[in-house]
Amino acid sequence: MGPDQPLPLPAEWEQSGGGAEAFVESLLRFGTTSTTLRTLCGGVHILDFLTREPDLYSLVLPAGWRDYFARDDVDVAAVLDLLMRRDLGELRSPSSGGDGPPEDLLAFVADESTKETFNGIPKGSKKAKLHLLEEGGGSIQYIEHRLEDGNLDHVVQQILDPAKVAEQQEQDTQTKERADQPFLTSTPAVTSTTRAQDPNLMVISLHSCGNLVHHGLRSLILNPSVKAVAMIGCCYNLMTERLGPPSYKLPQLRPNHPRLEATANAFDPHGFPMSARYATYPIPETDGSEVGVRLNITARMMAVQAPQNWGAADSEAFFTRHFFRALLQRVFLDRGVVGPPRSNGAANLDAEMWQGRTVGPCSPAGCSSGGEPVVIGSLKKSCYADFVAYVRGALAKIEANAEQPARAEQVRRLMGDITDEEIRGYEEAYGRKKKELSVVWSLMAFAAGVVEAMIVVDRWLWLGEQEGIEKAWVEPVFDYAMSPRNLVVVGLKK
**Is there a single domain that holds both residue 25 and residue 91?**
yes
Question: Is pLDDT of 117 > 60?
Answer: no
Identify whether 270 is part of a domain: yes
CB 459 within 8 A of CB 447: no
Alpha-carbon separation of residue 112 from 12, 58, 117, 233, 453 (angstroms): 14, 21, 8, 21, 11
Confidence band, pLDDT 50/70/90 cuts, at residue 165: low
Examine the fold and report which residue of 399, 417, 436 is the final residue of a domain before the chain moves on.
436
300 and 318 fall within a common domain: no
For 182, phi then psi, to 5°, come to -55, 150
User: 37-46, 359-368, 416-425 — which one is most confidently predicted on average?
Assistant: 416-425
Statement to judge: residues 221 and 275 lie in one domain: yes
Confirm whether 227 is domain-assigned.
yes
Q: Quick one: 115 and 6 in the same domain?
A: yes
- Which of 436, 462, 478 is the C-terminal boundary of a domain? 436
Do the domain assignments include residue 159?
no
Per the structure, the count of domains in the chain is 2
Neighbours of 477 (CB within 10 A): 17
- Domain span at residue 394 reads 307-342+373-436
Same-domain pairing of 298 and 313: no
Q: Are 472 and 464 in contact (CB under 8 A)?
A: yes
Confidence of residue 55 (pLDDT cuts 50, 70, 90): confident
What average pLDDT score do residues 212-224 get? 91
Q: H or E segment at 326?
A: helix 312-334
Query: What does pLDDT average to over the chain?
Result: 78
In a domain, 68, yes or no: yes
Does 462 lie in the same domain as 314? no
d(CA 486, CA 475): 8
Instruction: Evaluate whether residue 16 is within a structural domain.
Output: yes
Q: Max Cα separation, the chain? A: 78
CA atoms within a 13 Å half-sphere pointing along the CA-CB vector of 268: 19
Beta carbons within 10 angstroms of residue 423's beta carbon: 19
How far, in Å, are 11, 13, 491 from residue 17 at the CA level?
Answer: 10, 7, 24
Tallying the residues shown for the chain, one arrives at 494
Whole-number Å distance between alpha carbons of 150 and 232 = 15
412 and 331, same domain (yes or no): yes
Same domain, 412 and 470: no
With respect to residue 349, please indicate whether it lies within any of the assigned structural domains: no
Q: How far apart are alpha carbons 390 and 474 in whole angstroms?
A: 44
User: What pLDDT digit, counting tens, does each position of 318-376 carry?
Assistant: 899 999 999 999 999 999 998 876 544 333 334 443 343 333 333 333 344 545 678 88
pTM, entire model: 0.78
pLDDT at res. 179: 36
Within this chain, do residues 245 and 390 fall inside the same structural domain, yes or no?
no
Note whether residue 24 is domain-resident.
yes
pLDDT tens, 120-159? Answer: 544 333 343 333 334 444 555 666 666 666 676 666 666 6
pLDDT in tens, 80-105: 999 988 888 777 766 666 678 999 99
Same domain, 219 and 334: no
Residue type, 335: R
**22 and 77: one domain?**
yes
Q: Which long-range contacts (CB under 8 A, 24 or more apart) does 393-398 make?
A: 394/328, 398/374
User: Is the domain of 418 the same as that of 292?
Assistant: no
Would 80 be classed as within a structural domain?
Answer: yes
Among 436, 455, 483, identify where a domain stops: 436
Q: How far apart are the two ends of the chain, measured CA to CA in Å?
A: 12
